[in-house]
Structure 1
């Protein structure tokens, strides 16, 4: 592969909209292990939030995908590969990016923290309502009737 072809491939995978219209690979080999990536991503995405038991699995998958992405970029940058192999690697990197984008865009993963925040907001609204109903301003004295 010529140096200018290598640079073109690297620019292609780093382009802002590179994942637009890209498919998540059906399967991908990450550190010697074949993963059904598309099925994994769709399985996780169909839920509104990541259940507590799945959080570690999702975080591990994202970490491994990032590592694999970096390894593949390094192969394009440094290895003596053919143009065809470079194209294949670039396509797989874009697919990995697509999968990472899907996994990163998941809803809140900490249900307990979300529940606590909602309860705090409910208490605040209730206290505000009570203060208005009792005729009190924010920390001010009680208003006397007519």
Structure 2
């Protein structure tokens, strides 16, 4: 492969917006094991959050996908493949990136619970502030002789 072709492939593989409109591959060979990537991502994504029992499985999948991405990119960088093979590798790298993006957007279950608790505490603080600002705080209204 010519140098400009190699650079073109590398640029495409590392482009920030490359995953826009890209599909997650149905099946991909990751670390020598065939993985039904699309089904896995959609199965996990349907839940919106990562259940406690699935957290390790998702983290392992993300690590393996990152490793596989780097290995495929390295083949292009080291000029070990033809331009046609490089194009196929770039497409698979973009598919891996798309899957990683989807998995990275998931929140662990415990973070969701923490977020709900934080939101409840924020609402409580806001209501207390409004009561005080409007003079409807029970303690302050009793001191001024107002109605509770």
Same fold (TM over 0.5): yes
SS in 1 for 2:48: coil
1:135 touches 1:143 (CA, 8 Å); kept in 2? no
Is there any run of 5+ residues in structure 1 with no aligned partner, and where?
A: none
Aligned to 2:93: 93
CA distance in 2: counterparts of 1:136 and 1:27, whole angstroms? 66
Alpha-carbon contact 2:24-2:98 (below 8 Å) kept: yes
Higher helix proportion (structure 1 or 2): 2
Residue of structure 1 in register with 2:77 after alignment: 77
For 1:36 and 1:83, the matched residues in 2 are separated by 27
In the alignment, which residue of structure 1 is the partner of 2:66? 66
Decide whether the 8 Å contact of 2:128 with 2:137 is kept in 1. Answer: no
Structure 1 residue 11, shift from structure 2 partner: 0.4
- Structure 1 segments, 4+ long, off by >4 Å, are 125-131
CA RMSD of aligned residues (A): 2.5
Residue 140 (structure 2) aligned to one of 136, 140, 144:
136
Hey, what does 2:34 align to over in structure 1?
A: 34
Equivalence for 2:13: 13
